[in-house]
A and B are shown apart, each in its own frame.
Chain A
Amino acid sequence: MANFKIPIGPQHPALKEPESFTITLNGETIIEMDMRLGYNHRGIEKACEERSYIQAMYLVERVCGICSHSHSTCFIQAVEEIAGLAIPARAQYIRTIIAELERIHSHLLWLGVAGHEIGFDTLLMYSWRDREVVMDTLAALTGNRVNYGINTIGGVRRDISKEHLAGLLKTMDILEERTKYYIEVASEEITLIQRLSGVGFISHEDTVMLGAVGPTARASGVDRDIRRDDPYLAYKDIEFQVITDTHNDVYGRTLVRVGELMQCYSMIRQLVAKIPEGPVTVKAPRKIPAGEAFSRYEAPRGEDVHYVKANGTDKAERVKIRAPTLANLQSVARMMENNRLADVPIIIAAIDPCFSCTDRMIRINDTAGRRKETISWQALRTHSLEWYRKQGVDFKDLNAKMRQRMKA
């Protein structure tokens, strides 16, 4: 059978967000994979420059729907570093508790998605049912199920009461029992093991070379975790293990994630036991002095990096976000090689991709210096309107029509 190309995406049931993978197949075997990013570019970095730090924080929180706390904390850390703010210990603990709850929520979500990708919908239903427990806890602690909005510059917005902490411990017991069951299922159910082990193999050397982060890297024996290597928040006060695995495949990534879940429970118990009394916020200035900061954070998907440059006003001059998926995506192409078409969804899902978080624009300077023009917002807008008008779509007209319909 000759080689042929099959498109997975931009719209495909296996992908929860648009991204284009073109897979060259020989029969059912994958020869190579080509991917195109950028279907979800939202211009968040640029938009941050036009908002005050408080406003930008809520925008950054919405970079990712799952790791919203990761992004907002990472951003806030950078801002607080520039402003020289030392946030109260209790606020640090609350942020850490929310961060770990978010990790539980994210990993349980991943487990369900992985189950669905290999046609094991029962696992999806069960793990998402259990995820509801975490979501409800988060809603009770922060006021929302997804975009927690607990951070503010100089601390956290809401304190956690004693009753909530007690409830949290109970929740951990329920979840720990459920997770133990999932570990049992993952290590005993033959169809699950058959579908996961040996799939999406990537060697330790390649993982390091391609710069994978988070559980993807840890499943290939890369012992790296920002929480331990560069402690932030309250991680230096608590004990935990960095889970690594040497399976180097999707099965290993599953084991790392369920292993991390178990660590999360013990971490939250320690945090609840050690949480100090005191204020949860310090007064923060609106104008952040000039300076720049670089902040790292171990999001559920891997290392999240934010860079903030302040210029003394109440708006940032530059914000740069590198979501963990961008670092992991490079390795997907290598993982795909010599696998079956049937494994494509689970291999992509195994890095726990979050494509809309990843899409950023990069401007490449032509070193030969031939094209060096900067296009202004207004010029770009005019250009795009003109481009669409040539295609037969008139947006000016469209806006007028929209207004008319809204009035009617």
Chain B
Amino acid sequence: MIKPGKMLREVLTSFFQKPATVLYPYVKVLMPDRFRGKIRFLATLCIGCKLCMRDCPTNCITITKVGDKRFQAEFDLDQCIYCAQCVDSCPKKALESTADYELAQLQRNKLKMIYHAEPPPPQAAAPIE
């Protein structure tokens, strides 16, 4: 039947329902485990193949060699589109997605994430002695 106020019952019931609004900054929204958030770099696993640099659509990854088998990664988070292609490209699983999505910064330089390489292990220094 065509009539005005078809949604009347629905709106009246939703008055007594809990609001659908999420009080976001106060109540944290959890992302599913597959979420592609900020990328984490595991320096110990990196072999410096730079496949991630080659496949990154926005060229936001820079891997630099800082010593023998030690690599440092630099991410420009303001350029990253969080596609996680680097995670797929990495043959050694040295990169992984996290569920961290709160990435806004007031200062631009804070958007540059630098993962320093691990300090050289002590046994590597041993043969020189």
- A contact residues vs B (CB 8 Å cutoff): 51-52, 54-56, 58-59, 62, 122-123, 126, 129, 132, 136, 139-144, 147, 149, 152, 157-158, 181, 184-185, 187-193, 406
Contacts and interface: CB of A to CB of B under 8 A. Distances in A.
Contacts of A184: 6
B57 A149 contact: no
B4 to A, nearest CB: 5
B6 A54 contact: no
A143 B97 CA distance: 10
A149 B55 CA distance: 14
Q: Is the interface of B mostly helix, strand, loop or mixed?
A: loop
A390 B34 CA distance: 51
Q: Which 10 A-B pairs have the closest CB atoms?
A: A189-B6, A140-B32, A55-B57, A58-B57, A143-B36, A143-B34, A188-B6, A129-B20, A58-B83, A190-B4
Nearest to A130: B20
A157 B84 CA distance: 10
Q: Is the interface of A mostly helix, strand, loop or mixed?
A: helix
Contact of B32 (A51, A129, A139, A193): A139
A62 B81 contact: yes
Interface residues of B, number: 28
A147 B83 contact: yes
B102 interface: no
B2 A188 contact: yes
Contacts of A129: 20
Given A54-B55, A149-B83, A406-B108, A139 B6 contact: no
Given A142-B34, A188-B3, 18 more contacts: A55-B56, A55-B57, A58-B57, A58-B83, A122-B7, A123-B7, A139-B32, A139-B34, A140-B32, A140-B34, A141-B34, A144-B82, A147-B81, A152-B88, A185-B6, A189-B2, A189-B4, A190-B4
A219 to B, nearest CB: 20
Interface string B73-96: 000000001111100100000000
A181 B36 contact: no
A189 B34 contact: no
Interface in B20-73: 20, 31-32, 34-36, 54-57
Contacts of B88: 152, 157
Given A140-B32, A184-B6, A51 B108 contact: no
B34 to A, nearest CB: 4
Given A189-B4, A189-B7, A139 B31 contact: yes
